[in-house]
Amino acid sequence: MVTPDDGPDAAARPDPERSDPVPPALARTVLDSGEISRALTRITHEILERNHGSAEVVLLGIPKRGVPLARRIARRMGEVEGRAISAGALDVTMYRDDLRLKPARALEHTEMPDDVDDKIVVLVDDVLMSGRTIRAALDALGDLGRPRAVQLAVLIDRGHRELPIRADFVGKNLPTALTEKVRVRLAEVDEVEDSVGIVGSAPNGGAA
Amino acid sequence: MSEQYLIRNARILGGEPTDIAIADGVITAIGADLDLNGAIEVDATGLVALPGLVDLHTHLREPGREDAETVLTGTQAAARGGFTCVHAMANTDPVADTAGVVEQVWRLGREAGFCDVQPIGAVTVGLGGTQLAELGAMADSAADVRVFSDDGKCVSDAVLMRRALEYVKAFDGVVAQHAQEPRLTEGAQMNEGLVSGELGLTGWPAAAEEAIVARDCVLAAHVGSRLHVCHLSTRGSVEIVRWAKSKGWDVTAEVTPHHLLLTDDLVRGYDPIYKVNPPLRTADDVEAVREGLADGTIDIVATDHAPHPMEDKECEWSAAAFGMIGLETALSVVQHTMVDTGLLTWAQVAERMSAAPAHISRVGGGHGRPIAVGEAAHVVLYDDQATRTITPADTASLSRNTPYAGRELPGRVVATFLRGVPTVLDGQLQEVRS
Amino acid sequence: MKKHLLSAGDLTREDAIRVLDTAAELLGVAQRPIKKLPTLRGRTVVNLFFEDSTRTRISFEAAAKRLSADVINFSAKGSSVSKGESLKDTALTLQAMGADAVVIRHHFSGAPHRLAAAGWTNGAVVNAGDGTHEHPTQALLDAFTMRSHLMPGGGVGADLEGKNVTIVGDVLHSRVARSNALLLHTLGANVTLVAPPTLLPVGVDTWPVETSYDLDESLEKADAIMMLRVQRERMNASYFPTEREYSRRYGLDTTRMNRLPDHAIVLHPGPMNRGMEITADVADSGRSVIVEQVTNGVAVRMAVLYLLVGGATNEEEGS
């Protein structure tokens, strides 16, 4: 599943389900709920502009936090287009390249709102880092059909790419150190106010 | 015949320390501070001295399965366990159902020299359960057979059992019955109970043993003969034998060391090391056989030492052979279950593991006699304060199928004397001249 | 989850729900254009079948192949096993081939335990039915089928709390009944075993189930009823007098089916003896989920294989 702090050291990464050991006070908030909302609104308009409307677009969120983001974009898109638009969910667990580094993980729900053949699929995730999750998502998508094009929307692009993958729509570019973690909180998943924060030692800060 | 030995400070039957002098295979003196010129001294300080143990139920596998055990290796294991006489069961290949086979086994035992081997004759030809073997010829042979058994199989035909019981009266023989009703135990793999139900293994009801024990007691009483019940394993069997004895009937019974200690819970891992016939029973049955052995309902402990090659145990439970070895652990298990629990004294252990089995089989050679001046020098010195962890490889047997691997058991046989000749000294097998 | 799946009793409630939830996700794979996931690429799954069971073998084979595992089918018939090779030597051979999972079906109870415990193979051992002992993946697919019908919203994340399941037939010789009794209890269901006294195991009174000799009295409250296959050879062993009498007292016909609650479903592990424990019209009725059980079987076995060997195995974690 996708984690908010997608990083190269996937094996050592803490389970996102577990409570963060860093107290909230140590997290530097980089986006508040209002800023997240405006970023998603902007992304929505960019998707519509780029694809000349919503007719051909299928939104697929990558669990866990990509799914509520995709749904929020779908809602905004529906408001603009004047019709109900739904987003789906694409679990990429079975396609991950790091499965053998940890005990078998529970699967997330996959839900296709529509046939993807000849459609423009917009993958939605919260944080883009190594690109490995998106690689897995592209493979998963390939087994479900043959979209005309695949685009990528992310709330945060924090750099540190390990694969030739880039986002088409970015909420915020956030340069980070590898020792830092980007923590995304969304009301639907985390039951707290929306926020994006950075936890861990600052770029030139103390020991990692 | 042999050197002279002076055993120093042995506790005979666990009593006060005393010296025992042995010359020419006979106990010549017992007392404090004995002196015997030229004698080899054996320091037995702290050790219990028991009369040489007699096993009424041993599978030596020769002839036929020399890959599992031979008379030589089996009697070496017996010596290491403190035995000076073992009774070789008849289910060899060929079956010991003729004078020729029993004499061969008897002679092999004498040649080996570690332990007297008294053959048991088959009741029926080829253990087939249909025709009596030549019991009289075996009785009259050099092997002097008095115990007859189809062990491994039950003499289930009531008429045949009656005839056998009647026939052996002519030479004071005894029929040792393997009590297992065959129809009730078709395909049986373990004790029938909670565990068999959970494991999906075909159950072996206690009733299959008890039905035969009851029938045979009544038959033996009816014809006025001697019955011996092999490896009795259930509470019901104990109660039936107790009832038969209360009637004054000539019924004796044995229990194995493993039925005094192990229960069918051990089967849960499906390890065939615990597969045995009769099967391991419940904790309640274990309690009952201990009580029975303590109060004399069960007369003797017999090992049912049943060696099997590795491949017959390293397989699926249902494909595995029945049986476990036990000669070298018998006395330790008896100490653990009966002596350390206060159920038996060492004198009672000597009765149940030496005097009574020798009496049941009418075996000669001075076996089963007390440690007393003038008696044949069959003596075992036993360190009841020692403890040891059982390792399968530490055996004289050719087989390794001990159910006690990794278990800590009390006691260790330090020395065994057979007619004044040490077969074991300092826990080590000795060279013996036969 | 434990390393092996030998008994339904090895599964905690959380383990079992995880298997069922995973299976629920994997069920969709069968409907996709490409019915395959790359998850077990490079893993080797051996189907080691000492007993003929085409249904179970092809179910496991489909499951392993849909996860992209390499599948080796090792059937005892015509192999060295029929020439007397021991389980140990067979296992050592599989180990040398690098089996990551060994799916074993055996006519002897406990054979999978031996394989797992004796250290002859490092692979995960999956019990695909051993003698008259257990068949845990069958119990999982039965529970999956029940949950999807009986629990609201298809039951994802849920157990079977409070559901009444009646299992009818030869419990004594049934590995399906043993595994179901354990798993359904773990999942909170109330299990009633119905059989003639001759076909209930000794000690069943200590199992976490109700027992009854009377099928009719346990129909009205049943949310699910599972009919077990009755081997015709049991009749010759005097477990019951005649097939007709068995069928009359313990068979499920339309009359009995009509006494079940409207929502109740009918299961059978297959293969069925139509006319014996179940009549043809019941087997083919709308209540019957027997064909669905087969479909669910593949998804449940995919889930088991994924959860046992899809992630890091013990060896890999240690290195």
Write the residue in C86, C206, C207 that is nearest to B315 by C-beta. C86
Catalytic-labelled residue, pool B264, B285, B304, B383: B304
| C224 and C175 housed in the same domain | yes
Structure tokens at B277: 């016939």
Instruction: Identify whether C119 is part of a domain.
Output: yes
Contact at CB, B201 and C114, closer than 8 angstroms: no
Partners for A (CB, 8 Å, 3+ pairs)? C
Nearest to B420 by CA among B81, B77, B80, B23: B23
Contact at CB, C108 and B319, closer than 8 angstroms: yes
The reported pLDDT for the residue numbered A4 is 43
**Mind telling me how many Å the CA of B266 is from chain C's nearest CA?**
13
Contact at CB, C310 and A99, closer than 8 angstroms: yes
- CA–CA gap between residue B33 and residue B40 (Å, rounded): 14
Strands (E), B73-180: 83-88, 116-119, 147-148, 174-177
Which residue type does C307 have?
Answer: L
Contact at CB, A143 and C307, closer than 8 angstroms: no
The reported pLDDT for the residue numbered C312 is 83
Structure tokens at A11: 């094996």
Contact at CB, B200 and C113, closer than 8 angstroms: no
Contact at CB, C22 and A106, closer than 8 angstroms: yes
- CA–CA gap between residue C96 and residue C94 (Å, rounded): 5
The enclosing domain of C70 has a CATH number of: 3.40.50.1370
C317 touches chain A (CB under 8 A): yes
Interface of C with A in 152-191 (CB under 8 A): 156
**Mind telling me how many Å the CA of C155 is from chain A's nearest CA?**
13
Contact at CB, B317 and C108, closer than 8 angstroms: yes
Structure tokens at B145: 């057979």
The reported pLDDT for the residue numbered B182 is 97
C185 touches chain B (CB under 8 A): no
Higher pLDDT, C319 or B119: B119
Chain A hits for C17, CB-CB cut-off 8 Å, are: none
Chain A hits for C18, CB-CB cut-off 8 Å, are: 106
| C152 and C52 housed in the same domain | no
| C146 and C64 housed in the same domain | no
Strands (E), C59-163: 70-75, 101-106, 124-130
Nearest CA in chain A to C28: A110
**Mind telling me how many Å the CA of C248 is from chain A's nearest CA?**
46
Nearest to B426 by CA among B110, B2, B44, B24: B44
Interface of C with B in 57-96 (CB under 8 A): 86-88
**Mind telling me how many Å the CA of C33 is from chain A's nearest CA?**
6
Fold classified for B52-361 = TIM Barrel (3.20.20)
Chain A hits for C22, CB-CB cut-off 8 Å, are: 106-107
Task: Provide the residue ranges of all domains of chain A, joining segments of one domain with +.
Answer: 28-199
- Residues counted in chain C: 319
The reported pLDDT for the residue numbered A144 is 92
pLDDT bracket for residue C1 (50, 70, 90): confident
Size of interface B-C (CB pairs under 8 A): 74
Contact at CB, C312 and A101, closer than 8 angstroms: yes
Instruction: Identify whether C279 is part of a domain.
Output: yes
In sequence order, the 6+-apart residues with CB closer than 8 A to the CB of C310 are A94, A99, A104, C39, C40, C67
| C56 and C122 housed in the same domain | yes
Task: Using only the alpha carbons of chain B, give its radius of gyration.
Answer: 20
The reported pLDDT for the residue numbered C86 is 83
Fold classified for A28-199 = Rossmann fold (3.40.50)
C248 touches chain A (CB under 8 A): no
Q: How many CB atoms lie within 10 A of CB C312?
A: 18
**Mind telling me how many Å the CA of C296 is from chain A's nearest CA?**
17
Write the residue in B202, B311, B316 that is nearest to C106 by C-beta. B316
Contact at CB, C38 and A94, closer than 8 angstroms: yes
The reported pLDDT for the residue numbered A72 is 97
C234 touches chain B (CB under 8 A): no
Task: Provide the residue ranges of all domains of chain B, joining segments of one domain with +.
Answer: 5-48+374-429, 52-361
Q: How many CB atoms lie within 10 A of CB A39?
A: 19
Write the residue in A91, A103, A145 that is nearest to C311 by C-beta. A103
Contact at CB, A105 and C311, closer than 8 angstroms: yes
The SS3 of residue B47 is coil
C105 touches chain B (CB under 8 A): no
Interface of C with A in 282-311 (CB under 8 A): 306-311
**Mind telling me how many Å the CA of B306 is from chain C's nearest CA?**
22
C32 touches chain A (CB under 8 A): yes
| C147 and C99 housed in the same domain | no
Chain C hits for A103, CB-CB cut-off 8 Å, are: 311-312, 317
| C170 and C105 housed in the same domain | no
In sequence order, the 6+-apart residues with CB closer than 8 A to the CB of B362 are B146, B172
| C85 and C219 housed in the same domain | no
* Whether B285 is catalytic: no
Chain B hits for C114, CB-CB cut-off 8 Å, are: 270-271, 315-317
Structure tokens at B189: 């793999």
Q: How many CB atoms lie within 10 A of CB A180?
A: 21
Nearest to C297 by CA among C11, C12, C20: C20
Domain extent for C96:
8-135+295-318
How much is the pTM?
0.91
Chain C hits for B314, CB-CB cut-off 8 Å, are: 86, 88, 118
Nearest CA in chain C to A145: C33
Interface-testing mutation among A97, A99, A135, A138, with chain C (most C C-beta atoms within 10 A): A99
Instruction: Identify whether C89 is part of a domain.
Output: yes
The reported pLDDT for the residue numbered A200 is 80
Chain C hits for A13, CB-CB cut-off 8 Å, are: none
Instruction: For B101-121, write each residue's pLDDT tens digit.
Output: 999 999 999 999 999 999 999
Write the residue in C28, C32, C311 that is nearest to A99 by C-beta. C311
**Mind telling me how many Å the CA of A152 is from chain C's nearest CA?**
23
Mean pLDDT of C23-31: 91
Q: What is the H or E stretch that residue C25 is in?
A: helix C13-26
DSSP H stretches of helix in B36-98? 71-80
**Mind telling me how many Å the CA of A27 is from chain C's nearest CA?**
32
Structure tokens at B162: 């009656």
B283 touches chain C (CB under 8 A): no
pLDDT bracket for residue C85 (50, 70, 90): confident
In sequence order, the 6+-apart residues with CB closer than 8 A to the CB of B265 are B195, B283
The reported pLDDT for the residue numbered C77 is 67
Chain A hits for C309, CB-CB cut-off 8 Å, are: 104
Structure tokens at A164: 């030739």
Q: Judge whether C154 and C161 are in contact, CB under 8 Å.
A: no
| pLDDT tens sequence for chain B (434 residues) | 458 999 999 999 999 999 999 999 999 999 999 988 889 999 999 999 999 999 999 999 999 999 999 999 999 999 999 999 999 999 999 999 999 999 999 999 999 999 999 999 999 999 999 999 999 999 999 999 999 999 999 999 999 999 999 999 999 999 999 999 999 999 999 999 999 999 999 999 999 999 999 999 999 999 999 999 999 999 999 999 999 999 999 999 999 999 999 999 999 999 999 999 999 999 999 999 999 999 999 999 999 999 999 999 999 999 999 999 999 999 999 999 999 999 999 999 999 999 999 999 999 999 999 999 999 999 999 999 999 999 999 999 999 999 999 999 999 999 999 999 999 999 999 998 65
B5-48+374-429: CATH, from 3.40.640.10, 2.30.40.10, 3.40.190.10, 2.60.120.640: 2.30.40.10
Instruction: Identify whether C3 is part of a domain.
Output: no
| pLDDT tens sequence for chain A (208 residues) | 334 444 444 444 444 444 445 555 567 899 999 999 999 999 999 999 999 999 999 999 999 999 999 999 999 999 999 999 999 999 999 999 999 898 898 999 999 988 899 999 999 999 999 999 999 999 999 999 999 999 999 999 999 999 999 999 999 999 999 999 999 999 999 999 999 999 986 555 444 3
B186 exposed, middle or buried (CB, 10 Å; 0-12, 13-18, 19+)? exposed
B193 touches chain C (CB under 8 A): yes
Instruction: Identify whether C236 is part of a domain.
Output: yes
Contact at CB, B315 and C87, closer than 8 angstroms: yes
Structure tokens at C250: 């313990």
Structure tokens at C134: 């257990």
Complex prediction ipTM: 0.92
Interface of C with A in 59-78 (CB under 8 A): 67
